[in-house]
Amino acid sequence: MNLNLTLAFQVLFFIVFVWFSKKFVWTPIIGALNERKTRIADGLAAADKGHRAEQEGREQAEQLIVEARSRASEIIGKAEKHGAELVEEAKSSAKKEGERMITAAQAEIDSEVNRAKEALRKQVSELAVAGAQQILKREVDAVVHAQLLDDLAAKL
Question: What does the binding site for another protein look like in residue numbers (CB under 8 A)?
Answer: 1-11, 13-15, 17-18, 20-22, 24-33, 35-36, 39
Distances (CA, A) of 128 to 79, 108, 134, 145, 148: 71, 29, 10, 13, 12
Q: Could you tell me the smallest distance in angstroms from the CB atom of residue 46 to another protein?
A: 16
Q: Could you tell me the smallest distance in angstroms from the CB atom of residue 2 to another protein?
A: 7
Residues 6+ apart with CB under 8 A from 111: none
23 vs 100, which CB is nearer to another protein?
23
12 vs 148, which CB is nearer to another protein?
12
6 vs 147, which CB is nearer to another protein?
6
Q: Could you tell me the smallest distance in angstroms from the CB atom of residue 51 to another protein?
A: 23
36 vs 71, which CB is nearer to another protein?
36
What is the spatial distance between Cα 24 and Cα 92, in angstroms, rounded to a whole number? 100
Q: Could you tell me the smallest distance in angstroms from the CB atom of residue 16 to another protein?
A: 9
25 vs 119, which CB is nearer to another protein?
25
Q: Could you tell me the smallest distance in angstroms from the CB atom of residue 47 to another protein?
A: 17
125, 153 Cβ separation under 8 angstroms: yes
